[in-house]
Chain A
Amino acid sequence: DGGITQSPKYLFRKEGQNVTLSCEQNLNHDAMYWYRQDPGQGLRLIYYSQIVNDFQKGDIAEGYSVSREKKESFPLTVTSAQKNPTAFYLCASSPTRTGYEQYFGPGTRLTVT
């Protein structure tokens, strides 16, 4: 999982602004995922992508958007439509397209005030 990077580690934004979180992997993994973690909660799936130029909504996609223009990169945009954007965002990747063995990046803690 050392080959998955997320930046920045901490991000602060004002309400009403869109913000993009970076996720890069050099593991040549096919699938990539975005999860959100709130205090005392498990992780919840936002979006995932099995191949370049294709992605699917997860359980809580409203207010988020993604792109997958390169195999190594899967950025997440938190839009102003997301009602409660403050959270810990975790990106993961998997060597298979079927979701086994997901490895996580270090996460980005987003605070919106």
Chain B
Amino acid sequence: GENVEQHPSTLSVQEGDSAVIKCTYSDSASNYFPWYKQELGKRPQLIIDIRSNVGEKKDQRIAVTLNKTAKHFSLHITETQPEDSAVYFCAARGGGGADGLTFGKGTHLIIQP
């Protein structure tokens, strides 16, 4: 089955700086890669996603890049703000049907004032 590795587990950046979180996946047939933001005790919220036929997608301060050859994808947050502090999860959906998502273990992003 699919395996998703996520790094780093904790990331501390100064407010206004950029943050980058990286994930690798194992199944070359995976075709959908969402990112979720989860605040303490709350539900994960879908913040951006990318499909395998696209290399990059941007939504305001958030962008995701995908390298299918290397089987890795990354989340980029620019001009970080205090409300960006949360745990971020990457995930991959395997090819061939609705197998659900395989998640990374999460990155705790801390925005320092």
**Chain A interface residues (CB < 8 Å from chain B):** 1, 31, 33, 35, 40-45, 48, 50, 56, 58-59, 90, 94, 96-107
Contacts and interface: CB of A to CB of B under 8 A. Distances in A.
A92 to B, nearest CB: 8
Question: Which DSSP category, helix, strand, loop or mixed, fits chain B's interface?
Answer: strand
A24 to B, nearest CB: 15
Contacts of B99: 45, 48, 56, 58, 99
A106 B89 contact: no
Max count, chain B CB within 10 A of own CB: residue among A42, A44, A97: A42
Contact of B89 (A1, A43, A94): A43
For chain B, the bracket of interface size reads: 20 to 34
B43 interface: yes
B103 interface: yes
A41 B43 contact: no
B93 A100 contact: yes
12 contacts: A31-B98, A35-B100, A42-B4, A44-B103, A58-B100, A90-B44, A99-B93, A99-B99, A99-B100, A100-B93, A104-B45, A105-B43
A59 B100 CA distance: 9
Contact of B43 (A42, A99, A101, A104): A104
A105 B98 CA distance: 19
Interface in B1-39: 1, 4, 6, 32, 34, 36
B54 interface: no
B42 interface: yes
A98 B97 CA distance: 6
A42 B104 contact: yes
B46 A103 contact: yes
Highest count of chain B CB atoms <10 Å: which of A43, A44, A94: A43
